[in-house]
Amino acid sequence: MNIYNDYLKEIEDRKTQGLNPKPIDSADLVSEIITQIKDSNNANREDSISFFIYNTVPGTTPAAGVKASFLKEVVLGESVVNEITPAFALELLSQMKGGPSIKVLLDLALGNEVTIAKAATEVLKTQVYLYEADTDRLEAAFKSGSAFAKEILVSYAKAEFFTKLPEVVEEIQVVTYVAGEGDISTDLLSPGNQAHSRSDRELHGKCLISPEAQDEIKALQAQHPDKSVMLIAEKGTMGVGSSRMSGVNNVALWTGKKASPYVPFINIAPIVAGTNGISPIFLTTVDVTGGIGLDLQNWVKKTDANGVVVRNENGEPILEEVYSVATGTVLTINTKTKKLYNGDKELIDISKAFTPQKMEFIKAGGSYAIVFGKKLQTFASKTLGIDIVSVFAPSKEISIEGQGLTAVEKIFNKNAVGSTPGKVLHAGSDVRVTVNIVGSQDTTGLMTSQELESMAATVISPIVDGAYQSGCHTASVWDNKSKANIPRLMKFMNDFGLITARDPKGNYHAMTDVIHKVLNDITVDEWAIIIGGDSHTRMSKGVAFGADSGTVALALATGEASMPIPESVKVTFKGDMKEYMDFRDVVHATQSQMLKQFGGENVFQGRIIEVHLGTLTADQAFTFTDWTAEMKAKASICISEDDTLIESLEIAKGRIQIMIAKGMDNENQVLKGLIAIANNRIAAIRSGDKPALIPDANAKYFAEVVIDLDIVAEPMIADPDVNNADVSKRYTHDTIRPLSFYGGVKKVDLGFVGSCMVHKGDLKILSQMLKNIDEQHGKVEFKAPLVVAPPTYNIVDELKAEGDWEVLQKYSGFEFDDNAPKGEARTGYENILYLERPGCNLCMGNQEKAAKGDTVMATSTRLFQGRVVEDTEGKKGESLLSSTPVVVLSTILGRTPTLEEYKAAVKGINLTQFAPSHKLLVR
């Protein structure tokens, strides 16, 4: 009884937080609950029945296995529970989604009791989460003459699990809730500093926006019980920054509907909107839950009588309201006309939100059911020896005769499955593609493991070349929350077949390397497709897509992903980069020049950036591709010269070999296999059989952007512009300012060199700058703290071998110690150099933070409100983003440097340089 009593104590503890009992995933606890249910005189019997029915986690959890076995006993009459009839037991099995519940249903359907078999067969017809072990049983039973197996297969071949679902309602009434003005980061919906609680959905739901906002949402629901609350980003884009499945889960928890009455705290079908629509990767996450994402376009640029955009004194376009979506406005979504209405007044066409594929997701309660349903229909048809019946919306296939292919179109065509054989597909085509590399990160990993359990997956798809589970987002502080969550995550993922940053057996040193850097190293073919559980899954080899934890789970389980081929924007360069500039400045200048060239319109948003860097190795080019998440691009592709790509692959091989030497390879020898892939790719490039990927000369782009390096004359800084009178202009990554804007007087309270945006060269720049300052002034004195977090241990090892780490140690006041990792986050900083453990550190915002109200100069990617630094009552925190030399000099001076001071500080230092390729990188 100890386990049950412990659970009751936990329930009482949760009551003090206003929480319900935590969902049960423990087999031992469910076993004890079942014992109490069977004892008619047990004092806890009534509560135990409720916990068993309503609070046990489904899928492949240990608890689900015990629950399914007991329900089988009830169906067979081996256990009699008045409150759970055999029919109700079958209903409960139908809601468990897969894994042990499917095994039990197959046992019953293929058993000797005809009445039971018929009832179980009817339930199985509604199920889609079947894996090879399940389909193999069905196939074997069918071939042995089982009538019920044939009946199930015929139903699957007709896709009755989908066709018999209720149709999407024609009219959906919503009441608006403006969650904020301007771009809404997923941090507002699921703050990074609450990442530890994401797998506890009810607890994590309490961090949505604010308690005040939650009260306002509840008030709207009470006032409009027959309507859905629609969350809106007024004058901005909803869900920028990351896919953040936990953000969608939170919105669904507050505004969606229950997925099942018997599955605790899993809601689906949220409705979200933005003046400028939904961020692409966030919209994918909305699709996972069968939700709706609307592009409202309710504010437009004001034009004069001649159609010219009217601008304010700052040169910004003046916006005017087309229609109001103020909080409390009642609107109607018509899924048939695909229009948005206010009463009888038509407001806007919203057909993009209701494509045939999206309508299927809404009908099925999410995209997973469609993915698995299509595979199940294919299996059944093949087993029966019949043609596939056209049930699902046909994939859109766009093929334009005489038009060449962009780089992403080439990759998608190579990896496509299920498309018309021999047909060349262009942008806009819907494609299922095989996935080569998958990455799961640690603050979303527990959710990914839950998704894998819920879709009954037990082992990684053999299609995937390699997959990695990181430990970087929880690297800074090894606190009690991390100690409780991370080892459990690592064991699950290691057992599932991933290479894990931490060894559950403790045989190799914990590796807290930044996930994006590791994925960049283990991507050994530029034709690869990568899916990663973070928005910065942007490799400089292959094409990589940041994804929610569920899409990552789907890629791990099936080795596939589905999406339209995105349009591309081609970025090339001209001119010469000034020797005192750093490549980070070119990255920022790209965004700035693009916005100027297109009148403030961000042509990168939602598209692929095909960047022709040519001469930069993957490490250095990553600084550009990584930043494309902040450019709001869907993904990016780096076009390299043959020799440069070979050099990048050799570097990757060396780093993978180090991982092998550490003992990180698994029994399938995934890492060894990646080295073999790299060797084959290098051989094909050298022989000329398959040169480096380049687009066709006659490929078609949405836009082409040429960046002039000659006019990049001073360091460029991405500024959150926290005091902009127009709230919608704050905390975007589009305000790029030259160093001279600050006049050498803006106070800097903290500097941060780290995150995925830096490479080994940045740490060498830091080392060189410190030596120069010491030589010039006789000492190194910081007027603001400087926090340094190398991206990977490999970089630390390489810096040690080359002598640079010794320099950093000399000037540091703190150096991380893996034998005694920090147990608490810093709450204050001294004016010293901190050498922190490799990982995300301040950039993630879930562990370490700057002091509230600080002005931070960082190499990071994040300038969102409250991410790196929170506000005080009297001062807004600012996270300004710049190159490593600007950050370092700002901490030495305690303020932004002048251009002259900057030039003097970097004189003679080998900055990250770039020269445009002189080769024609098209075919």
Compute how many other C-beta atoms are within 10 angstroms of the C-beta atom of residue 356: 12
Nearest-angstrom CA–CA distance, 160 and 131? 18
Residues 6+ apart with CB under 8 A from 868: 752, 842, 843, 845, 849, 850, 856, 858, 860, 862, 877, 879
Nearest-angstrom CA–CA distance, 108 and 141? 13
% the chain with pLDDT above 70: 100
- 683 token code pair: 């051989």
pLDDT class of 194 with cuts at 50, 70, 90: confident
**What pLDDT was estimated at residue 753?**
97
Cβ 491 vs Cβ 460: under 8 Å: no
pLDDT in tens, 715-750: 999 999 999 988 888 999 999 999 999 999 999 999
Phi, psi at residue 359, to the nearest 5°? Answer: -65, -35
pLDDT in tens, 334-368: 999 999 999 999 999 999 999 999 999 999 999 98
- 857 token code pair: 């100069």
**What pLDDT was estimated at residue 136?**
93
pLDDT class of 243 with cuts at 50, 70, 90: low
Nearest-angstrom CA–CA distance, 496 and 469? 11
Nearest-angstrom CA–CA distance, 57 and 66? 11
Which segments of 790-862 are extended strands (E)?
Answer: 812-815, 833-835, 855-858
pLDDT in tens, 893-920: 999 999 999 999 999 999 999 999 888 7
Compute how many other C-beta atoms are within 10 angstroms of the C-beta atom of residue 337: 15
Nearest-angstrom CA–CA distance, 628 and 604? 8
Compute how many other C-beta atoms are within 10 angstroms of the C-beta atom of residue 192: 26
Nearest-angstrom CA–CA distance, 428 and 315? 34
Cβ 161 vs Cβ 125: under 8 Å: yes
Nearest-angstrom CA–CA distance, 388 and 157? 7
**What pLDDT was estimated at residue 323?**
96
- 710 token code pair: 């000659």
Q: For residue 274, give the 3-state DSSP assignment.
A: strand
| Alpha-carbon torsion angle 398, 404, 406, 412, nearest 10 | 50
Phi, psi at residue 833, to the nearest 5°? Answer: -95, 125
**Overall average pLDDT of the 672-695 stretch:** 97
Compute how many other C-beta atoms are within 10 angstroms of the C-beta atom of residue 596: 11
pLDDT class of 797 with cuts at 50, 70, 90: very high
Name the maximum alpha-carbon separation found in the chain. 91
**210-216 long-range contacts, CB within 8 A, separation 24+:** 213/177, 213/179, 214/254, 216/177, 216/327
Tokens 């329900």, located at residue: 71
Strands 703-708, 568-574: pairing is parallel
pLDDT in tens, 818-838: 999 999 999 899 999 999 999
pLDDT in tens, 423-452: 999 999 989 899 999 999 998 888 899 888
Query: Could you tell me which of 290, 425, 449, 436 has the C-alpha nearest to residue 370?
Result: 290
Nearest-angstrom CA–CA distance, 65 and 442? 26
Tokens 């009552």, located at residue: 873
pLDDT class of 464 with cuts at 50, 70, 90: very high
Which of 192-196, 405-409, 457-461 has maximum average pLDDT? 405-409
Nearest-angstrom CA–CA distance, 152 and 562? 27
Indicate if the pLDDT at residue 1 is higher than 70. Answer: no
Q: For residue 632, give the 3-state DSSP assignment.
A: coil
Residues 6+ apart with CB under 8 A from 333: 171, 172, 173, 174, 271, 292, 294, 340, 350
Strands 750-754, 786-789: pairing is parallel
**What pLDDT was estimated at residue 389?**
92
Strands 568-574, 833-835: pairing is unpaired
- 36 token code pair: 């109490």
Q: For residue 339, give the 3-state DSSP assignment.
A: strand
**Overall average pLDDT of the 33-37 stretch:** 96
Q: For residue 292, give the 3-state DSSP assignment.
A: strand
- 306 token code pair: 């001649």
% the chain with pLDDT above 90: 79
Which amino acid, residue 138? L
Cβ 717 vs Cβ 588: under 8 Å: yes
Q: What is the mean pLDDT of the chain?
A: 93
What are the C-alpha distances in Å from 912 to residues 230, 581, 760, 789? Answer: 46, 8, 10, 18
**What pLDDT was estimated at residue 237?**
92
468 forms beta bridges with 439, 499
- Containing 234, the helix (H) or strand (E) segment is strand 228-234
CA dihedral sign, ordered 488, 493, 496, 498: negative
pLDDT in tens, 549-606: 888 999 999 999 888 999 999 999 999 999 999 999 999 999 999 999 998 899 999 9
pLDDT in tens, 678-687: 999 999 999 9
Whole-prediction pTM: 0.82
**What pLDDT was estimated at residue 275?**
95
pLDDT class of 118 with cuts at 50, 70, 90: very high
Phi, psi at residue 631, to the nearest 5°? Answer: -80, 0
pLDDT in tens, 279-314: 887 898 899 899 999 999 999 888 888 888 888 877
Cβ 267 vs Cβ 253: under 8 Å: yes
First to last CA, the chain: 72
If you ran DSSP here, which 8-state letter would residue 351 be given? G
- 813 token code pair: 């006041």
pLDDT in tens, 467-508: 999 999 989 999 888 888 899 999 999 999 999 999 999 899
pLDDT in tens, 520-560: 999 999 999 999 988 788 999 999 998 888 889 999 999 99
In angstroms and rounded to an integer, the radius of gyration of the C-alpha atoms of the chain is 28
